[in-house]
Amino acid sequence: MRLAGGLGVIGAIGLVFCWWGGSGERTFEDGKDWVVGAVVAAALIILAAVHLLLRGFRRLREAKDDAVNRLLIALPPVAVHFEIPAERPRPVAELAPVSEVALR
């Protein structure tokens, strides 16, 4: 959290500073360095957001795994029995048209 917050704050300060510095230039050529600085600052903000999201996803996955493990320990083992039906469903081409079904 500190890393993401620090990168975000540094990026935001850099973005505001580049905006302020670039606003005093007369032409684009004069302010090109400020634009590059603003792009770098925006990249820092994006990097902070991605780091925060990935860290949060990792913590959610760890919490889910922990909850599943606790449930598996708490619940008794259960035998599972699967049955395969003897009749297979008919293909869609063999079914009656909708108009015939509606009239029945």
- pLDDT tens string 17-50: 998 988 888 888 888 999 999 999 999 999 999 9
The answer to whether 49 and 3 are in contact (CB under 8 A) is no
Residue 12 has a pLDDT of: 93
User: Which residues are CB-contacts of 15 (< 8 A; sequence separation ≥ 6)?
Assistant: 38, 41, 42, 45
Q: Which of 12-21, 39-48, 75-84, 93-102 has the lowest mean pLDDT?
A: 93-102
Q: Rounded to whole angstroms, what are the CA distances from 18 to 38, 87, 97?
A: 5, 72, 68
Distance from C-alpha of 14 to C-alpha of 88, rounded to nearest angstrom = 66
Residue 97 has a pLDDT of: 60
